[in-house]
Amino acid sequence: MPTLTAVIDLDLPGATISRHVYGHFAEHLGRCIYGGFWVGEDSSVPNVRGIRADVVEALRAIRIPNLRWPGGCFADDYHWRDGIGPRNQRPRMVNSHWGDVVEDNSFGTHEFMDLCEMLDAEPYVNGNVGSGTVREMSEWVEYLTRGDDSPMAALRRQNGRDEPWTVPFFGIGNEPWGCGGNMSAEHYADLARQYATYVRNHGDNTVYKIAAGANSDDYAWTEALMKVSSKLGCGCDPRGFFQGVSLHYYTINGDWDDKGDATRFSTDDWYVTMKRARRIEELVRGHANVMDAYDPERRIGLVVDEWGTWWNVEDGTNPGFLYQQNTLRDALVASVHLDVFHRYAHRVSMANIAQTVNVLQAMLLTDPETGALVLTPTYHVFAMNTGHHDAGALDVRFKGEVPTRTVEGAQVPLLSASASTKDDSALVSLSNLDADEATTVVLDLRGRDVTGHTAQVLTAPALQAHNTAEHPDAVAPAPHTGVRPHPQGLEVDLPAHSYVTVQLALA
C-alpha cells in the first residue's frame, strides 16, 4: 500500500472559508419545490405551514447557510407579484423551461422567506432580467426589505408580514448568455450595471449583489463584467455596481446529448467523471486570474452558484424534471469541488450546489408515492464538512508522488485534500479517487500540539452504491478506525473510492 505525506502547518491559517460555499439551490424545477419543499398545509406528509418538516430537519442538521431561489432559468420567467397574496387568487403560469407544466404560484415570496427562517438560512433571491423590468426588480427588493410605510412595505403588510425580512444576497438575472436572454457579454454587463443601481439597500439591509457570470471557461464574459464593475464612482457601494460575479459548471460523463447514467456506469466512466470534476480548479483559477487583473484587492467575490453532476434522467421520469439518483461517485465529485473552494477561499465567496431536493445532485430525495425521505451520499459529504464553515483555510502540501491515472489523454491526480482550523480544532478532508486501490497518508502536523482526534469514512463496496427508501444507509458515514499515531502526527488509511475526514483537537 503506497504512502504519501501531507504537511499541514496548523498555526498558519489563511483566508476564511465562508460557510456560504456550502450554499444550496432550489429552483422551480421538477419536484424540487412542489413535492420537495412544499406539500401544502392539507398534505398527509407532516408539514409546518405547507413546508415538509423532515426536509427542514435534515437541512438544518447540515447547517445550510443560504438558499438560492426561484432559479435558475425559471427566475427570468418569474414575476414576483404573481406569487403573493391569497393562494387561491394567485394567477397560474407555465414553467416553459422545465417540463412545460402549469404552476399555481402557491409557493412564492412569503413561503420562501418562511422556509429560510425555518432553516435558519440566509435567502439568496434571484431577480428577473430576461423578461422583467428594472422597476419590477427594484420593487421586489423594497417589498422584501423596507420597514416604513412605503408602497411596497404597505403591500407586504397587507399580505400578512409586518416586519421586513433580511435579504443579504440578490442575483441580477441568471445565465443571460443562454436561457436568461441569449445576450452578449457586453449587453448584459450594461444591463447588470443598470439593474444593480436599482437594487437598493433599505434600512439596515445591505444587499450583496451578484452579476450573472460565465458558463464554464468563458473568461471573456467575466472580463466584461469586471470592466464594468471596475468603473467606480457610481455613487453606490464602494465595491462597485455588484459585489459578486457568478460561475456555472456542471460535471457530465459524455456530452450534452448523452450525459451518462447516474447508476449504470463503468470504472472507466468513474475516472472520466473524476477528471471532469477536477476541472473546477482550472476554471476557478482562470476566472480568479481575470478578476485579480481588475480587482487586486479582491473586493468582488466569485460565486459558483450552480455546480454539480448532471446525468441522464432516471428511466420513466419526466425528462424536463432532471431527477437523477446519487451515488458514491457523486459524493466524491462534491468533495473534490469543496476542496477547491477551500483552497480559493480568498476569492470564492459563495457556492450553491444544484439542487437541494429531487433535482440533479440533490441532498435529499423524496418518494412521490410513499413520501419517504432519503439522504443521498452527497448529503453526507456536506454533513462531514460542517467543521470547515467559517474556518481558516490551511495549506496541504504533499511530499512524494501523488498517484495519477491517464484519462482522456491527461494525468488525473487520484488524491484530493483540504484542511482548515477554527478555535481549538482543525478538520482535514481526504478523498481517494482510485476506484480499486487503497492508500495511506501521513499527516505531518506542525505548529500546534494535537491532543486528540476522531475520524469518519464514507465509502461502499460498489462504485455505483446509492441510497433508497428500502436501503437508506447503503452509503453512510461510519467511524474510521484506520487512523494511528505517527512520529510526525497521524497515519490515515484511505480505502479505495472513499472520503475521510479527520477532526483534530488542538492545544
Output the domain CATH number for residue 30.
Answer: 3.20.20.80
Same domain, 94 and 207: yes
Output the domain CATH number for residue 452.
Answer: 2.60.40.1180
Same domain, 348 and 491: no
Sign of the CA dihedral running 154, 158, 163, 165: negative
Closest CA to 372 of 383, 357, 354: 357
Name the grid cell of 439: 492508500
Give 266-317 pLDDT, tens digit per residue: 999 999 999 999 999 999 999 999 999 999 999 999 999 999 999 999 999 9
Rounded to the nearest 10 degrees, what angle do helices 134-145 and 185-197 cross at?
Answer: 40
428: β partners:
419, 502
H-type alpha helices, 352-499:
377-384
122 is catalytic: no
User: What is the span of the domain harbouring residue 477?
Assistant: 3-10+393-506
Which of 111, 139, 142, 175 is catalytic? The answer is 175
Same domain, 155 and 144: yes
Same domain, 482 and 397: yes
Same domain, 192 and 313: yes
Give 420-433 pLDDT, tens digit per residue: 999 999 999 999 99
Same domain, 412 and 449: yes
Same domain, 349 and 433: no
Confidence at residue 2, expressed as pLDDT on a 0 to 100 scale: 64
Among 390, 418, 438, which residue terminates a domain?
390
Residue 1 clears pLDDT 80, i.e. is over it: no
CB of 58 within 8 A of CB of 39?
no
Residue 118 clears pLDDT 60, i.e. is over it: yes
Confidence at residue 368, expressed as pLDDT on a 0 to 100 scale: 87
Residue 236's pLDDT band (boundaries 50, 70, 90)?
very low
Which of 103, 111, 122, 306 is catalytic? The answer is 306
Rounded to the nearest 10 degrees, what angle do helices 219-229 and 185-197 cross at?
Answer: 40
Confidence at residue 410, expressed as pLDDT on a 0 to 100 scale: 95
SS3 labels along 303-357: EEEEEEECCCCCCCCCHHHCCCCCEHHHHHHHHHHHHHHHHCCCCEEEEEEECCE
* Number of domains the chain is built from: 2
Among 343, 370, 390, which residue terminates a domain?
390
Same domain, 228 and 327: yes
Confidence at residue 447, expressed as pLDDT on a 0 to 100 scale: 97
Cα–Cα distance, 40 to 48 (Å, whole number): 9
Cα–Cα distance, 247 to 136 (Å, whole number): 25
Same domain, 279 and 409: no
Closest CA to 206 of 235, 173, 170: 170
Cα–Cα distance, 358 to 257 (Å, whole number): 21
Over residues 97-115, mean pLDDT = 97
Same domain, 374 and 416: no
Among 367, 390, 413, which residue terminates a domain?
390
Cβ count within 10 A of residue 233: 6
407: β partners:
410
Cα–Cα distance, 478 to 244 (Å, whole number): 38
Same domain, 407 and 382: no
CB of 316 within 8 A of CB of 334?
no
Same domain, 128 and 277: yes
Cα–Cα distance, 499 to 336 (Å, whole number): 10
306 is catalytic: yes
410-432 per-residue burial string, b: 16 or more CB within 10 A, e: under 16: eebbbbbbbbbbbeeebbbbbbb
Cα–Cα distance, 355 to 363 (Å, whole number): 7
Q: To the nearest 10°, the Cα dihedral for 169, 172, 173, 175?
A: -90
